[in-house]
Chains A and B, each alone.
Chain A
Amino acid sequence: MPSPERGTPPQVADQSARTPVLSAQGLVKHYGQVVAMDGADFDLFPGEILAVIGDNGAGKSTLIKALSGAVIPDSGQIFLNGEAINFRSPLDARRYGIETVHQSLAVAPALNIVDNMFLGREIRRPGPLGSVFRMLDKKKMLADATVYMQDLKFRIQSMQQAVETLSGGQRQGVAVARAAAFARNVIILDEPTAALGVKESGMVLELIQKVRDRGLPVILISHNMPHVFEIADRIHIHRMGKRTAIVRPQAYSMSDVVAIMTGALEVNKQSN
């Protein structure tokens, strides 16, 4: 049986890249009697797509919530670029450059793409027009949003069309582009292809790879094994409240990974 590696960075030549962008050690979270995290570790390295998988109830979503500031762990420590950090809210995590694309996408369907891109962080006109009359700088927001979309080579008829007129994949694309535009450190994608058809999924997976190629590390939460194997650089397998293994998709078959996830396949514990 091949032994999965633990905590090894992906194939990046640069030595400085060995510091994880985002990491966690020994996270614990109890909900009454229920142990949602039981000493969970986590490492995300620069320039990688890290898939986080786990069976329902494995505590994967609690881990992700802790990393995005939505849950405050009882104990354990989170590190951003090697520095210990404590998030008190999702807005806090966002201030540290960690953007999350929720499964619900968090878009306002009747507002257009530009409005949605800048929702909650609108840009105002310079001078008194902005400070006294609170006037939005619609031109700048349109120009910036267009650049964000072009950066990801994501094509859309018009940036001024309401988000509700877009297909599911395009909406996901808008949400990803928004997160990529504002994330300085990490982008977290929660089940980005769950509601999409084959073609649209392909488009979104491509988009995620472009985000990674532009230098932003991606955490991908997904139940879809083919998608995980298609784009992940490493796979973090979560089981019973903690990381049970990290594997490379090239070295394992999908059925092996599922077996590790469900506990059917034991993994040799290795020291770091």
Chain B
Amino acid sequence: MTTTGPMSTASRRFISFLAAPAVSPLIALVIAVIIFATQSDRFLTGRNFSLIVQQVMVVGTLAIGQTLIILTAGIDLSNGLISALGGVVMTKLAVASGVNPVLAILIGILVCTAFGAVNGLLITRLNLPPFIVTLGTLNIAFALVRIYSTQSITGLPDVQTSLGETFLLGTTAISYGSILMFILYLITWYMLQNTAFGRHIYAVGNDPEAARLTGIPVNRVLLTVYTLAGATYGIGALMLIARTGVGDPQAGQDANLESITAVVLGGTSLFGGRGNVMGTLLGVLIVGVFRNGLQLTGVPSIYQVLITGILVILAVAIDQLSRKARA
């Protein structure tokens, strides 16, 4: 076969290696860790890593749902505000309305799940593009949060902040929320790798028409994905109120772009059908490590934003180049 275009076989191989699941984000993460470890002796400690994970666990959890959606070639702009709504519902019901706090948590998660299902229904029944649908539900969720509560809800019952509590592993304090996030990643990874539903998510993202012809219920897969994503936003809400100790109506406004950033850094293609949730975990950790490492080395935090921007463009470029190399 002759090579088409300017790309040589060697560079093609190199690009497909970089585009292999989780390879690039892992390289980026390892390099970042090495650099920061040489710059600050406080960086490479269990305590610091536990802190990094706690800082990223909310976005990390939202990014799980975002990964599933992006794998189907969709996108969700509404996740942060759905999550904020869930958080406000959980806390206000418990604090102001005297609902049993555990029941309030369940209702909050249910609200988020239902919002995800609404996204899915609008996308599948009315055939609307996910970008537009979730832009709409972003605004609706934002308005609902403010209509329901304009003030932060404080004085949360203990059970609502239990995910923020820690246990000792050796000398390192680890929060239950961090553990829950890792468990969610493992479950999602298992689902994508080892179940028919996981294969169907990839197939739908690859080529919905082909998926339909092989007998996959495409709309049902999409609806399930958006609903499951809604559930992860509910769990993200619980982590957020546990970490901050308040139900915050201002929360979650940047979470949509932050979660998309993590997914893209993790090597999942915005065109759908390629990628892995473990890449997203690496993407989340990359952002967290840069933020923390730059802080420890005394670099202004705006450089973290700069570096994130460069990494996002690199990640998308690798995806795009590897698509060309495949063609």
Contact = CB atoms under 8 A, between A and B. Distances in A.
Interface of A: 90-91, 94, 102, 104-111, 115, 119-122, 124, 133-136, 138, 164-165
B195 A108 contact: no
A13 B79 CA distance: 68
Contacts of B202: 108, 110-111, 115
B210 A104 contact: yes
Given A124-B196, A134-B197, A136-B194, A104 B206 contact: no
Interface string B284-327: 00000000000000000000000000000000000000000010
Given A115-B199, A135-B195, A108 B207 contact: yes
A35 to B, nearest CB: 27
Nearest to B196: A122
Interface string B200-214: 101100110111011
Contacts of A105: 210
Nearest to A89: B215
Contacts of B196: 122, 124, 134, 136
Given A135-B195, A136-B196, A165-B326, A109 B207 contact: yes
A121 to B, nearest CB: 7
Dominant secondary structure of chain A at its interface with chain B:
loop
Interface string B148-174: 000000000000000000000000000
Contacts of A107: 207, 210
B274 interface: yes
Given A108-B211, A110-B274, A111-B203, A120 B216 contact: yes
Interface residues of B, number: 20
A183 to B, nearest CB: 14
Given A111-B202, A111-B203, A164-B326, A106 B195 contact: no
Given A105-B210, A120-B214, A120-B215, A110 B273 contact: yes
A111 B216 contact: no
A133 B203 CA distance: 21
15 contacts: A104-B213, A106-B207, A106-B210, A110-B206, A111-B199, A111-B202, A119-B214, A120-B200, A120-B214, A121-B215, A122-B199, A134-B194, A134-B196, A136-B196, A136-B199
A136 B206 contact: no
A111 B209 contact: no
Contacts of B215: 91, 94, 120-121
A194 to B, nearest CB: 17
A133 B200 CA distance: 16
Contacts of B206: 108-111
Dominant secondary structure of chain B at its interface with chain A:
helix
Contacts of A94: 215
A120 B210 CA distance: 11
A185 B199 CA distance: 28
Contact of B203 (A119, A135, A138): A119
A165 B194 CA distance: 22
Contact of B214 (A106, A109, A135, A165): A106
A269 to B, nearest CB: 37
Contacts of A111: 199, 202-203, 206
A109 B202 CA distance: 10
Contacts of B273: 108-110
B17 to A, nearest CB: 14
A122 to B, nearest CB: 4
A119 B194 contact: no
A111 B198 CA distance: 11
Contacts of A136: 194-196, 199
Pick the most buried of B197, B200, B215, B273: most chain A CB atoms within 10 A of its CB.
B215
Contact of B199 (A102, A119, A165): A119
Given A108-B203, A120-B200, A136-B199, 6 more contacts: A104-B209, A106-B214, A108-B207, A115-B199, A119-B200, A119-B203
B241 to A, nearest CB: 31
Nearest to A178: B214
Nearest to A95: B215
Contacts of B207: 106-109
A102 B195 CA distance: 26
B230 to A, nearest CB: 21
Pick the most buried of B211, B213, B273: most chain A CB atoms within 10 A of its CB.
B213
